[in-house]
Chain A
Amino acid sequence: MSLVKTPKSTFAQKLKRFFMIDLIKGMGLTLKFNLGALTDKDAVAGKGIYTEQYPKVRPDVAPRFHGAPRLNMDPETHDTLCIACNLCAIACPEDCIDVIPMDVEIVVAGKPRRKKVLDEFIFDTSRCMFCALCQEACPTSCLELTQDFELATYSRAGFVWNREMLEQGRETVKYTS
């Protein structure tokens, strides 16, 4: 009597083992994937290839994604829409926005008046948690969190965006190939 009960394999199972059907099935599967990847003509995500070709093809982020901040400008006059009301800085839970206003002399109905306008806008993206409460608070739809997600820099100082960066957007390398 054998020490251990082993299940007796049937003749069909033995044949299957001899011809290595399982091995051939497995190799067929890998070969199918290989050929599928090779015949994937456009070489971007699609049939055959399931990965995103990131620097070449930019992924579509979710519609409610919050990314890099931007200060919108009047599309006709190219003046800033910001009225330096400081509401965004007050709304920010992380206290990462600094609105620096300045007074300018203007003439209203023939009398000299002083008006508060935006001088400098400091946005510290290293502290920002992209809650978009500033965007909600902005009365003129000036401050907006865009869908741009490439925020990495080489230094901590690079995370602090000034008015020019916020208005023009930061330059990132765009790969085409």
Chain B
Amino acid sequence: MLLFAPIDVLNDLLLRTGLSSDTIKFFVWPLIQIGLVVTLVALWVAYATYLERKISAFMQARLGPMRVGPWGLLQPIADGLKLLTKEDFIPDKADRWIFFFAPYIAVASAFIVFSVIPFGPDWAVIADVNIGLLLVLAVSSIGVLALILAGWSSNSKYALLGGLRSSAQMVSYEVAMGLSLIGALMFARTLSLSGIVAAQGADSIWYIVYQPAGFLLFLISGIAENNRAPFDLPEAESELVAGFHTEYSGMRWSLFFMAEYAAMVVVAAVATTVYLGGWYFPFVNRLQLSGHHNLYVLVSLLVFLVKASIILYVYFWLRWTLPRFRYDQLMDIGWKWLIPSALINIVLSGFAIFVVQALNGWRGIETIERLDRGLNLSATGKGIMIAIGLIGLFITAALLSRINWRSRDFNLKVQRRNIRLVNVPKGKPAVQAGS
């Protein structure tokens, strides 16, 4: 391919510098990949802000940024320049060093995750770590630390309260997020993100079909994890000004902003990898078969970006559809609904796999084609799996409504409306005046 000739040329040039081929393979090329990924992800994040503004404008029957460049396409660059030239203000009596470093922790924790995300096959992934998903969860939850430090070091009550809120929220939703992924991992039988994608490819199915509940849970807890609307309690303007980054300005503030969007992209990328089949798309691998390897990788990359962007769109879409939750409702959803349903989802996934394995070979029913890296099912097995997945939604809802049958008792609104009616004659106030 003429388009990818520079790669080979560069490889030859690197070989001529006297470096060993191993050094080039395991050190120089990864560095190039890292540089590319950091640049491209930063660009993606910048344009995610642009898209956010555009889409929110469209949903409000406006046009959004239109002045800088055609259709306002250069707006992120203008914003970046503006933020770079702004004053980097540090409040009096703030903990200077922590205040300095908190944004870097936020950005780093969001960006490190991209090192294991498989953007595509072959050269489009930096490192195929066999604990990939674990690394994603572990590193992305370091972001909480940045928020706590930022909130604490600002020496401001709003920042402190915002930091507290976001840490409480992120810690509680972290659990549901981790648990919701386990169902999909049971099918993939690996933690490596490339392995999960390969397992979906080998089974020629997206795990969203097997795991509708898991996908929904992951998406909801991902949104809550990123402190995005409708779970953007830490940034509730009416209560907390701007939450943990109240005292930040200029480039440091924009680092937090970047971290938020990068974390969104991370969740979108992980959801794409685990539930939407990663870079797989029907008929794309015909390019591979016809010998256009690099083109195949590039198209797969585009497929991945498009899928992740669709999930990002859902983020924006939900933001402009739903109002913000109350804080007790937020904790309710996290602890009383998401975590139990994630556990039920694990049990149901296990049950589904058990059923499929038990049925295999029984009265000539064939459900499993082969069991090597992932779980490769025949059409019958897929049907059973999908059916259990869909029925599982109902089972989960029924069980949850059973578990939380008293939850409405603690609904403040209903209490205010009804509490004075219990054991009090009608027409009289609950508390007598003057008593």
- Which of chain A's residues have a CB closer than 8 A to the CB of B62? 37, 49-51
Contact between A5 and B422 (Cβ–Cβ < 8 Å)?
A: yes
Chain A residue at minimum C-beta to C-beta distance from B423: A1
Cα A4 to Cα B397 in complex, Å, equals: 23
Instruction: Tell me if A34 counts as interface (CB < 8 A to partner B).
Output: yes
Contact of B61 with A51 in the complex, beta carbons under 8 Å: yes
Whole-angstrom distance between the alpha carbons of A36 and B63 in the complex?
A: 11
A4 near B419: Cβ-Cβ < 8 Å: yes
**B63 nearest in chain A by CB position:** A49
Q: In the complex, what residue of chain A is closest to B60 when comparing beta carbons? A: A33
Q: Is the CB of B397 within 8 A of A6?
A: no
Q: Decide yes or no whether B1 CB sits under 8 A from chain A.
A: no
Encoded as 1 (CB less than 8 Å from any B CB) or 0, chain A from 143 to 160 comes to 000000000000000000
Chain A 35-73 interface 0/1 with B at a Cβ cutoff of 8 Å (1 = within) = 011100001000011110101100000000000000000
| A51-B63 contact in complex given A4-B422, A18-B397, A33-B58, C-beta closer than 8 Å | yes
Given the contacts A4-B409, A4-B415, A38 and B321 also touching, CB distance less than 8 Å: no
Q: Which of B67, B320, B408 contacts A30 (CB 8 A)?
A: B320
Q: How far is the CB of B54 from chain A (nearest CB, A)?
A: 9
Q: Is the CB of B63 within 8 A of A33?
A: no
Q: Determine whether the beta carbon of B409 is less than 8 Å from that of A3.
A: yes
A49 / chain B contacts, CB cutoff of 8 Å: 61-63
For residue A64, give the distance in angstroms from its CB to the closest CB of chain B: 29
Look across to chain A and name the residue whose beta carbon is closest to the beta carbon of B415: A4
Q: In the complex the two chains form, what is the Cα distance from A26 to B321 in whole Å?
A: 6
Indicate with 1 or 0, residue by residue over A1-38, a CB within 8 angstroms of chain B CB atoms: 01111100000001000100001001101110110111
| Chain A residue at smallest Cβ distance from B58 | A37
Residues of A with C-beta under 8 A to B418: 4-6
Chain A residues within an 8 Å CB radius of B66 = 43, 53, 56
Residue numbers of A with Cβ under 8 A of B are: 2-6, 14, 18, 23, 26-27, 29-31, 33-34, 36-38, 43, 48-51, 53, 55-56
Residue B317, interface by CB 8 Å: yes
What distance in Å separates the Cβ of B391 from its nearest Cβ neighbour in chain A? Answer: 13
Kindly report which residue of chain B lies nearest to residue A6, judged by CB atoms: B408
Given contacts A6-B411, A55-B67, 5 further A-B contacts (CB under 8 A): A6-B408, A27-B317, A37-B62, A37-B63, A49-B62
Nearest-CB residue, chain B, relative to A38: B58
Question: Which B residues, 40 to 69, have Cβ-Cβ distances below 8 Å to chain A?
Answer: 55, 57-63, 66-67
B59: which of A3, A23, A33, A51 is its contact (CB, 8 Å)? A33
**Inter-subunit contact B422/A31 (CB<8 Å):** no
Output the nearest chain A residue to B62 by Cβ-Cβ distance: A51
Sample of 24 A–B contacts (CB below 8 Å): A2-B406, A4-B409, A4-B419, A6-B408, A14-B401, A18-B397, A26-B322, A27-B317, A27-B318, A27-B321, A30-B317, A30-B321, A31-B317, A33-B58, A34-B59, A36-B61, A37-B58, A37-B59, A37-B61, A43-B63, A48-B61, A49-B61, A51-B62, A51-B63
Within the assembled complex, what's the spacing in Å between the Cα atoms of A50 and B58?
10
Question: 3 smallest A-B Cβ distances: which pairs?
Answer: A37-B58, A34-B58, A50-B61
Shortest C-beta distance, A21 to chain B (Å), equals 14
Contacts of A2 in B (CB 8 A): 406, 409
Q: Which of A3, A6, A23, A30 has the most CB of B within 10 A?
A: A30
Complex-state Cα separation, A36 to B60, whole angstroms: 10
By a CB distance below 8 angstroms, the chain A residues around B322 are 23, 26
Q: Given A3-B409, A49-B62, does the pair A37, B57 have CB atoms closer than 8 Å?
A: yes
Q: In the assembly, what is the distance between CA of A23 and CA of B67, in Å?
A: 34
Give the docked Cα–Cα distance between A163 and B408 (Å). Answer: 75
Taking a contact as CB atoms under 8 Å apart, the answer to whether A5 and B58 are in contact is no
Q: Which residues of A contact B401 (CB under 8 A)?
A: 14
CB of B421 closer than 8 Å to a CB of A: yes
Residues of chain B lying within 8 A (CB to CB) of residue A38:
58
Question: In the assembly, what is the distance between CA of A56 and CA of B414, in Å?
Answer: 51
Chain B nearest CB, measured from A79 CB (Å): 42
Q: Write out the residue numbers on chain B whose beta carbons fall within 8 Å of the beta carbon of A31.
A: 317
Q: Pick the contact of B421: A5, A14, A36, A56 (CB < 8 A).
A: A5
Task: Return the chain B residue nearest A14 by Cβ.
Answer: B401
CA gap between A3 and B419 in the complex, in Å: 8
Closest Cβ of chain B: how far from A3's Cβ, in Å?
6
The complex places the Cα of A92 from the Cα of B317 at a distance, in Å, of: 55
A-facing residues in B139-154 (Cβ within 8 Å): none
Residues of B within 8 A of A23 (CB): 321-322
Q: Give chain A residues whose Cβ lies under 8 Å from the Cβ of B60.
A: 33
B 391-435 contacts with A by CB, 8 A: 394, 397, 401, 406, 408-409, 411, 414-415, 418-419, 421-422
Interface centre among A6, A29, A34, A56 (most CB of B within 10 A): A34
Name the contact of A33 in the complex, choosing from B61, B394, B409, B421 (C-beta under 8 A).
B61
- Min Cβ gap A167→B in Å is 32
Give Cα A18–Cα B398 distance, bound, in whole angstroms: 9
Give Cα A27 to B409, complex, Å. 29
Chain A CB count within 10 A is highest, among B58, B411, B414, for B58
